[in-house]
Homo-oligomer: A and B are copies of this chain.
Amino acid sequence: MKIDLNKLKLPSLYKKPSHKTGLPPGTLVYTGDEKAEPVQIYLIDYDETKVEEKPLDSPQQFSVLRQTTSNSWINLDGIHNVELIEQFGQHFELHPLVLEDIAHTGQRPKMEDYDACLYIVLKMLQYNEQKQAVESEQVSMILGPHYLITFQERQGDVFEIVRQRIRTGKGRIRKMGCDYLAYSLIDAIVDNYFHILETFSERIERLEDVLLNEPTDVVLGQIHSLKRELTLLRKSVWPLRELVAGLDRLESGLIKKGTKVFIRDLYDHTIQIIDTIESFREVVSGMMDLYMSAVSNRMNAVMKVLTIIATVFMPLGFVAGVFGMNFDMPELKWQWAYPVGFWVVIVAIMVTMIIYFKRKKWL
C-alpha cells in the first residue's frame, strides 16, 4: 500500500506555541516564520460624517488617536517587528502579556478583559486554491473606547468588505462605535469559515463517490488526511464559541447594548459551524468503515474467482489424471470413449459446478 506522498500533504499536527522558553513571561519574541516583508500600518478614522484613510509610519502618531472621539481602526500587517508592537504597548498602555500573545502565533482563540481595553485573538482561515490547503493566520484585536487595533501576520485578509462598507457608509457601521467594527471583523472571519466548510463538504462528497465506486488505496490516505484536518479545524473553532459567548456576557462598557444583539447572531453562526464540523467528523469516520468493508468485499471477490477456478479445474484435472494412469483400463478401449465419453463427463462436471455457483450467487 504505497501512497504517493507528493499528492498527500498531511497538515502539521503541532504548531510550536512559542520559542520563548527560558525568557521571562511578557518578553516579546516573534514565533512565526521568518519574514522580510516590511510592516505596514494603516489607519481608517471615521465617524458618521467623515472617513479618513492614511498609512502611518511612526508610532508617535498613535497617542493622538487615543484622544479623538471618532473611531480609529489601526491595522498592522506583519507582527515580526516586535519593537513596533512594544511601542503600541507603550502608547496604549497594554499589559506585557498581551504584547507577548500578539507576537506569538499559535494562540488559542480567546478574549481577555483588561478594564481599559479588550484583547481578542482568533484564527483567520483562508482556503488556498493553489496549495489546496487551508491556511491559518492569527488576528489579534485591541478594542478600546474609541479605537480598534488589529494585528495580522501578513498582508491580505477578509476585511476588504468591511472597509468598503466604511468607505461607502453602507449599513449601520458608520453610525456605530468601535465595538460594532470589531464585531464586523469577527463576523467577516466567521463568515469565511463557512467557505472553508463548503470546500470540506465538496471534498467529502467527492471522496464518498470514489469510495462507493472504486475504492483504491489512495482513498485511505485521503480519509486519514481529512480526518486530521477536521481535528485541527475543530481545535481552532471550538474556543471561538467561548470567545463569542464571553463577548455577550461582558459587563464592561466597551461592548454597547446595541451591539450585543449582533454578537448573539454571531454566536448562532459559531454554533452552526461547530455543529457542521461535528457532522463532518461523523461522516468521515463512517467513511473509514466503508473503506474497510470495501476492502473486505474486494477480497471476497478475489477469493470467489480463485475458488471457482479451483473447484472447476481440480475435479477435471483428477479425471484427466485417472485416464493418464498406466493401468490396463477397459474404459480406454471403449469406442467413442475419448472424443465423446470423456468430454461429456468434463462438460457435465463444469455445468454442475456453474449451476452450483449460480445458486450460491457467486456468479
A269 → chain B, closest Cβ, in Å? 7
Among A18-26, A44-52, A139-147, the stretch that binds chain B is: A18-26
Give chain B nearest CB distance to A84 CB in angstroms.
Answer: 21
Contact B305 A311 (CB under 8 A): yes
In the complex, what's the smallest C-beta–C-beta distance from A303 to chain B, in angstroms? 5
* B338 A327 Cβ-Cβ under 8 A: yes
Residues of B within 8 Å of A184, CB to CB, are 24-25
Secondary structure of the A side of the interface?
Answer: helix
- Residues on B with C-beta less than 8 A from A235 are 275, 279
Q: Is A154's CB within 8 Å of the partner chain B?
A: no
Number of copies: 5
A305 — nearest CB in chain B belongs to which residue?
B307
Of the candidates A16, A292, A306, the one having the most CB atoms from chain B within 10 angstroms of its own CB is A306
Cβ of A127 < 8 Å from any Cβ of B? no
Is A212 an interface residue when CB atoms closer than 8 A count as contact? yes
Residues from chain B with Cβ under 8 Å of A22 in the complex? 161
Residues from chain B with a CB closer than 8 A to the CB of A171 are 23-27
Q: Which residues of B contact A128 (CB under 8 A)?
A: none
Q: How far is the CB of A214 from chain B (nearest CB, A)?
A: 8
> Does B302 contact A296, Cβ atoms closer than 8 Å?
no
Q: Output the least CB separation between A349 and chain B (Å).
A: 11
Inter-chain contact B1/A197, CB cutoff 8 Å: no
Minimal Cβ-Cβ distance residue in B for A200: B14
**A56 at interface (Cβ–Cβ under 8 A)?**
no
CB contact between A299 and one of B269, B299, B342 (< 8 Å): that residue: B299
Does the CB pair B332–A326 fall under 8 Å?
Answer: yes
Is A309 interfacial (CB-CB < 8 Å)?
Answer: yes
Chain A interface (Cβ within 8 Å of chain B)?
Answer: 1-3, 5, 8, 10, 12-14, 16-18, 20-27, 95, 97, 101, 107-108, 110, 112, 161, 165, 170-173, 184, 187-188, 191-192, 194-195, 197-198, 200-201, 204-205, 208-209, 212-215, 217, 220-221, 224, 227-228, 231-232, 235, 261-262, 264-265, 268-269, 271-272, 275-276, 279-280, 282-283, 286, 288-307, 309-311, 313-318, 320-330, 332, 337-339, 342, 361-362
12 contacts between A and B (CB under 8 A): A1-B294, A1-B297, A12-B201, A17-B194, A25-B187, A25-B262, A212-B221, A224-B290, A231-B283, A300-B302, A318-B320, A325-B342
Q: Which 4 A-B pairs have the closest CB atoms?
A: A24-B171, A320-B321, A14-B201, A327-B338
